[in-house]
Amino acid sequence: EVQLVESGGRLVQPGESLRLSCEASGFTFSTYWMQWVRQAPGKGLVWVSHINSDGSSTTYADSVRGRFTISRDNAKNTLYLQMNSLRAEDTATYYCVRDNWGIDYWGQGTLVTVSS
């Protein structure tokens, strides 16, 4: 069974940093692209970032480019999202998703709240 378990979300102040993690199981993590998608409270789904299977290629939404960094450790079956210079508008539930020629599986999400 495919499982994606995110962690690391919490309340932070504007300008602070946070690292999200996503532990994957139930599939061969090292062979899949992965993505982060976020959802602000009561709002829709927004793509944040993608990484290819070996970590050599990444892309970012314009709203986070230069502030967020996606990475992965295939030996640990873990996906990361390093979030710097956080803003109030980054407040959202962040989902780790598997990309299998399209998003298929989602984690349960981790809530990041940016507020003073």
Partner 1 sequence: DVVLTQSPLSLPVTLGQPASISCKSSQSLVDSNGNTYLHWFQQRPGQSPRRLIYKVSNRDSGVPDRFSGSGSGTDFTLKISRVEAEDVGVYYCTQGSHWPPWTFGQGTKVEI
Q: Which stretch binds partner 1 (CB under 8 A): 10-18, 23-31, 82-90, 107-115?
A: 107-115
CA atoms in the 13 A half-sphere facing the CB of 72? 27
> Which residue from 27, 61, 67, 91 is in contact with partner 1, where contact means CB under 8 A?
61
Contact status: 46 vs partner 1 (CB under 8 A): yes
Q: Kindly state the number of chain residues that form the binding site for partner 1, as judged by CB under 8 A.
A: 21
What are the angstrom distances between the C-alpha of 114 and each of 18, 64, 108? Answer: 10, 14, 20
Q: Does 16 bind partner 1 (CB under 8 A)?
A: no
Q: Is 111 in the site for partner 1 (CB under 8 A)?
A: no
Among 41, 44, 92, CA closest to 64: 92
